[in-house]
A = this chain, B = another copy of it.
């Protein structure tokens, strides 16, 4: 299978990309040499504006079934390869959004194709078990050789889940259970607790809270949504818990140029966190946990310094709150370290770390104390999916074999440097370039300009995502090399040159 793919890919990569080969304003020096994986294409190749006519047919077709307003275009995943996403009109785009940051090593990676065609793996796909009661024989081994090899510092336990929201919901539940067990000490739950919980009343369903931050995104199920504060469209009309929300630092970029101002801003936010913890305790809704992203993603790619997180972690400890780091978007290598929180340099970075997206499976790691004391407290039918663990295992092999974290660091430097240069060339359009690894972003002067740049870039063969009010977020896969960075920067430069 892999070899037949290869033949086809090689044939396709011989095609000329006339559009990009045409002379034009080229921003980046030609030093970028191609070091691209052999299984993918060389360049974008555009045949129509996007969405093209075939995507529009499909649009119409699906209108009766679902709200399809968010659909960008329809894709041909069979023809997509590596960093290049192919649509139904045969347009081939450099994918810098990767299914909302969830494709780790590009499309149709031969290593993942092999997982599929290995007869030993078939049964894991066909027979989805109820993992919590009837795990497959090799499940503990698979955990040890995949998820446990990348466990965050201080954590030896992991619970898989189906998606990011389920991961955070169950992490919150673990935190609440841990917190109440701590309060109860050695005594068992009272009869009153047991009976009141059945009818949603305290003390059985206690008035505990999770502290979150403005701009945060932790998912959309109702527990998660109560900690999500990125955009009104996610939250409008949905009942929510009355939980405390702290300001997330609004920093100035580049961070190193505004160290003093940023430190002031971070101190202000940390003070507010402590005030809220005290206030909510007084209100009778104690803060059982603090949840935070290492870089706020959906909320606008907002960074904070390692010092901010270190101090926040200490505040959590001081007040007896669990510290939950949500790495659903930042985890899996895009920041140049496997977990973004590794940049803080802590041996004991968190009590809970949740993940999903690039990890293929959802789930969360936690410290020993956070393990539920009884079975069925953290439970559901599937508790994840062993077939996703197979993919993760292979993704980790590829990351190690190809030193992808180093690659990401290298590509990330080139990308951020390129964004700095672009914003200095187009200061009326671009600002606030920022990033870690390839997990980068830049702001446009306004929402309309941001969207226009993205649409034009797409028609030139670079597919991008947005975040916050006027940011473009860069979320390439881990096999995004310097070669691809320069392709992207060339396209962006072309768009900006033409921009009125």
By a beta-carbon cutoff of 8 Å, the part of chain A in contact with chain B is 1, 54, 58, 61-62, 64-78, 80, 85, 88, 99-100, 102-103, 107-109, 112-113, 115-117, 119-120, 122-130, 132-137, 139-140, 143-144, 148, 156-159, 162-166, 169-170, 172-173, 176-177, 179-181, 189, 193-195, 197-201, 204-209, 214, 219-223, 226, 229, 231-243, 245, 356-357, 360, 371-382, 387, 391
Given contacts A100-B130, A165-B380, A169-B222, contact A64 B117 (CB under 8 A): no
**Distance in Å: Cβ of A378 to nearest Cβ of chain B:** 7
A108→B125 contact, CB < 8 A: no
A62→B139 contact, CB < 8 A: yes
A137→B204 contact, CB < 8 A: no
Residues of B within 8 A of A222 (CB): 169, 172-173, 221-223, 226, 241
Q: List, sorted by A's number, 12 A–B pairs whose CB atoms are closer than 8 Å.
A: A69-B375, A73-B134, A75-B137, A99-B129, A102-B128, A117-B122, A125-B125, A164-B381, A181-B237, A197-B236, A198-B232, A200-B241
B64→A236 contact, CB < 8 A: no
CA separation between A112 and B198, bound complex, in Å? 40
Given contacts A66-B158, A157-B64, A245-B200, contact A74 B163 (CB under 8 A): no
**Distance in Å: Cβ of A237 to nearest Cβ of chain B:** 4
A236→B122 contact, CB < 8 A: no
**Distance in Å: Cβ of A12 to nearest Cβ of chain B:** 15
Residues of B within 8 A of A115 (CB): 126
CA separation between A465 and B456, bound complex, in Å? 57
With both beta carbons as reference points, the residue of chain B lying nearest to A223 in the complex is identified as B222
B102→A126 contact, CB < 8 A: no
A130→B166 contact, CB < 8 A: no
Given contacts A100-B130, A381-B102, contact A136 B77 (CB under 8 A): yes
Residues of B within 8 A of A220 (CB): 169-170, 173, 379-380
> Per a CB cutoff under 8 Å, which of B71, B226, B375 touches A200?
B226
**Distance in Å: Cβ of A236 to nearest Cβ of chain B:** 5
Residues of B within 8 A of A72 (CB): 133-134
| Chain copies in complex | 2
Given contacts A65-B158, A122-B1, contact A236 B193 (CB under 8 A): yes
Residues of B within 8 A of A360 (CB): 128
CA separation between A206 and B240, bound complex, in Å? 8
> Per a CB cutoff under 8 Å, which of B162, B200, B233 touches A243?
B200
CA separation between A151 and B189, bound complex, in Å? 44
A381→B163 contact, CB < 8 A: yes
CA separation between A223 and B226, bound complex, in Å? 10
**Distance in Å: Cβ of A241 to nearest Cβ of chain B:** 6
B238→A176 contact, CB < 8 A: yes
B199→A245 contact, CB < 8 A: yes
A189→B236 contact, CB < 8 A: yes
**Distance in Å: Cβ of A251 to nearest Cβ of chain B:** 20
Given contacts A236-B194, A237-B180, A381-B102, contact A77 B123 (CB under 8 A): yes
B166→A163 contact, CB < 8 A: yes
CA separation between A198 and B243, bound complex, in Å? 12
A135→B74 contact, CB < 8 A: yes
**Distance in Å: Cβ of A67 to nearest Cβ of chain B:** 5
**Distance in Å: Cβ of A493 to nearest Cβ of chain B:** 26
B134→A99 contact, CB < 8 A: yes
A165→B164 contact, CB < 8 A: no
With both beta carbons as reference points, the residue of chain B lying nearest to A102 in the complex is identified as B381
Given contacts A166-B162, A200-B241, contact A379 B70 (CB under 8 A): yes
Q: Considering the complex of A and B, which 7 residue pairs feature the smallest CB-CB distances, nearest first? A: A69-B375, A222-B223, A70-B375, A200-B240, A205-B240, A62-B140, A180-B237
Residues of B within 8 A of A68 (CB): 375
CA separation between A200 and B135, bound complex, in Å? 39
A135→B381 contact, CB < 8 A: no
A127→B107 contact, CB < 8 A: yes
Residues of B within 8 A of A99 (CB): 128-130, 134, 381
> Per a CB cutoff under 8 Å, which of B58, B108, B205, B219 touches A127?
B108
**Distance in Å: Cβ of A188 to nearest Cβ of chain B:** 11
With both beta carbons as reference points, the residue of chain B lying nearest to A98 in the complex is identified as B130
A139→B74 contact, CB < 8 A: yes
A116→B112 contact, CB < 8 A: no
CA separation between A88 and B138, bound complex, in Å? 10
B375→A67 contact, CB < 8 A: yes
> Per a CB cutoff under 8 Å, which of B125, B136, B177, B238 touches A205?
B238
> Per a CB cutoff under 8 Å, which of B76, B129, B179, B377 touches A75?
B129
With both beta carbons as reference points, the residue of chain B lying nearest to A120 in the complex is identified as B78
B198→A235 contact, CB < 8 A: yes
Residues of B within 8 A of A107 (CB): 126-127
Which of A163, A214, A376, A379 has the most B CB atoms < 10 Å from its CB? Answer: A163
